[in-house]
Amino acid sequence: MEKEKYQIEFPVNSSKGVLFNAFSTPSGLAEWFCDDVNIKKDVHIFVWEGSEESARLVSKKRDEFAKFRWMEDEEDGQNTFFEFRIKVDGLTGDTALVITDFAEADEVEDAKELWEAQVEKLKRVLGA
């Protein structure tokens, strides 16, 4: 089944460096995205309440973005990914976190709600 791409943007009152560390390091991710992260080469193993999901780090650029692909999707030949990207408004200097992800059409709204809950947790962790 073809997955649908969607994007959501969240204003985050944080510096680029702090925000980047929150989504690109195991310790940062474990504070808001999952319970724990283990890394084997370029594969991140995310742990939630005892279950594990593996994702390959496809690419990242310091203080800008990190892009991952779920191993399950990669094995299924799907060209999907999830990406955390920092966007800074040129005029106001406001920082936002832009999340791009894929979900099946009937699951997009639920997926967005899940991201919203995760990002609320991130903002609490960052004090943003």
64: domain CATH number is: 3.30.530.20
pTM here is 0.93
pLDDT exceeds cutoff 80 at 14: yes
CA 96 → CA 6, 14, 21, 79, distances in Å?
A: 16, 9, 14, 25
> How many structural domains is the chain composed of?
1
pLDDT given for residue 2 in this prediction: 84
**Percentage of the chain surpassing pLDDT 70?**
100
**If pLDDT is split at 50, 70 and 90, which confidence band does 50 have?**
confident
- Identify the bridge partners of residue 82 per DSSP, sorted by sequence position: 68
pLDDT in tens, 68-127: 999 999 999 999 999 999 999 999 999 999 999 999 999 999 999 999 999 999 999 999
pLDDT given for residue 128 in this prediction: 75
Q: Are strands 65-70 and 82-88 parallel, antiparallel or unpaired?
A: antiparallel
Q: Which domain holds residue 20?
A: 4-126
